[in-house]
Amino acid sequence: MGTTSGTEQRIREAAFRALAKHGYADLSLTDIGEELGQNPSILYHYFDSKDDLLLSMLEDFVDIFIGKRSTESDADPEATLRQTTDQILHPKQMQVEAVMNTPPADIETAMSRVFVELWAHATWDDEFRNETTQVERSLREMIAQTIRTGIDQGDFRQVDAELTADHILFLLMQGVHTRATTNQETSVERVQTIIDSIIVDLRRSNADTS
């Protein structure tokens, strides 16, 4: 989002908040204009349509989950892996504020709802599907690279990094989806427990290093 204008960024943030409140089917440009505090006609100066605006908003997921993380050191791959999974399951206000100046107050609920709405729309829209595919590829590669670094440094045992990343990403996506679409209040905690067991299993034991 660093290359966008200030107004365009505020429009995308307003769309994020409006989508989290109303859902895709009921979302109108008027709703976005109300969140923005301006006449909705201004949106057409920057985006061709509601879908064009929401499609561009998928870049926010990359920035929130990957953009800041990609430049960080993997000196402690286990800590990095735990921080990455925690950031996806429990996005912190300050982390999101690094990308959005005005995120919703309940950022966990908002992120889950927006995720489900955008990914559901990708069922019917090829452009959205291409973007969601790229987001998931980027997340998978980020996780796999952390695992490969851990293996290279001798912190993790030899595993198929890509397959393990697939497993972790599937759990993360399922956790976010289940939180937004069911009343299973412990769904995210269960996902965290399973991922924790995977990370523990990745560690090299004393027997491995002897």
Instruction: Identify whether the C-beta of residue 40 lies closer than 8 Å to the C-beta of residue 53.
Output: no
DSSP-based three-state secondary structure for 3:
coil
Q: Can you give the pLDDT of all 210 residues of the chain as single tens digits?
A: 444 578 888 999 999 999 999 999 999 999 999 999 999 999 999 999 999 999 988 877 777 776 655 445 568 999 999 988 998 898 877 777 777 888 888 888 888 999 999 999 999 999 999 999 999 998 999 999 999 999 999 999 999 999 999 999 999 999 999 999 999 889 899 999 999 999 999 997 643 554
How far is the C-alpha of 7 from the C-alpha of 179, rounded, in Å?
32
DSSP letter at 156? Answer: B
Structure confidence at residue 70 (pLDDT):
46
Distance, C-alpha 43 to centroid of its chain: 25
Structure confidence at residue 208 (pLDDT):
56
Domain annotation for the chain: domains and CATH numbers: 58-205 (1.10.357.10)
The C-alpha angle 67, 133, 144, rounded to 5 degrees, equals 55
Q: Of 38, 27, 117, 19, whose CA–CA distance to 8 is shortest?
A: 38
How many separate helices (H) and strands (E) can be counted in the chain? 10, 0
Q: 125 — phi, psi (to 5°)?
A: -125, 120
How far is the C-alpha of 28 from the C-alpha of 50, rounded, in Å?
8
Amino acid at 37: G
Helices 161-181 and 187-202: crossing angle in degrees, nearest 10, is: 170
